[in-house]
Amino acid sequence: MRNTPRRPLARPRRPASRAAQPPRAHPPRNNPPSDPANPRGLVEFVAKSLVEKPEAVSVTQRGDRNSMTLRLKVAPEETGRVIGREGRFANAVRTLLKVISARTRKRIVLDIGD
């Protein structure tokens, strides 16, 4: 037999004082677009969520019955953030727009920049 004491099988519980702390406040978020088939609102929401100066984001919409062109303008120093590395973020937004274009049967083009 051993002469040393055995270790307890379970770890001691944490004190309950952590539960008494108020939850952390999250930063305010932009409201998501109310209409899921609204491509302009989607692009604006995603861009404003990404950049540091959301007040500089503007999306203009032009088009006719069969096509639509969305032009996204952001602050010049944040254009690279919206495009992403190797254009990955821009391609992801364009993929989302393809889903909307398939549902609405309109061709949607996204232009980023000046």
For the segment 6-30, what is each residue's pLDDT rounded down to a tens digit? 777 777 776 666 555 666 666 666 6
pTM of this structure: 0.68
| Amino acid identity for residue 38 in this structure | N
Give the pLDDT of residue 7.
72
Please indicate, yes or no, if residue 56 is contained in any of the structural domains: no
- Please name the helix (run of DSSP H) or strand (run of DSSP E) that holds residue 42, with its range, or none: helix 39-50
Number of domains the chain contains: 1
**Are the C-beta atoms of 72 and 65 separated by less than 8 Å?**
no
Please indicate, yes or no, if residue 49 is contained in any of the structural domains: no
Q: Picking from 28-37, 54-63, 83-92, which range would have the lowest pLDDT averaged per residue?
A: 28-37
Please indicate, yes or no, if residue 111 is contained in any of the structural domains: yes
Domain containing 73 equals 64-114
Tell me how many degrees the CA angle 68-69-73 measures, rounded to the nearest 5.
Answer: 145
Give the pLDDT of residue 62.
93
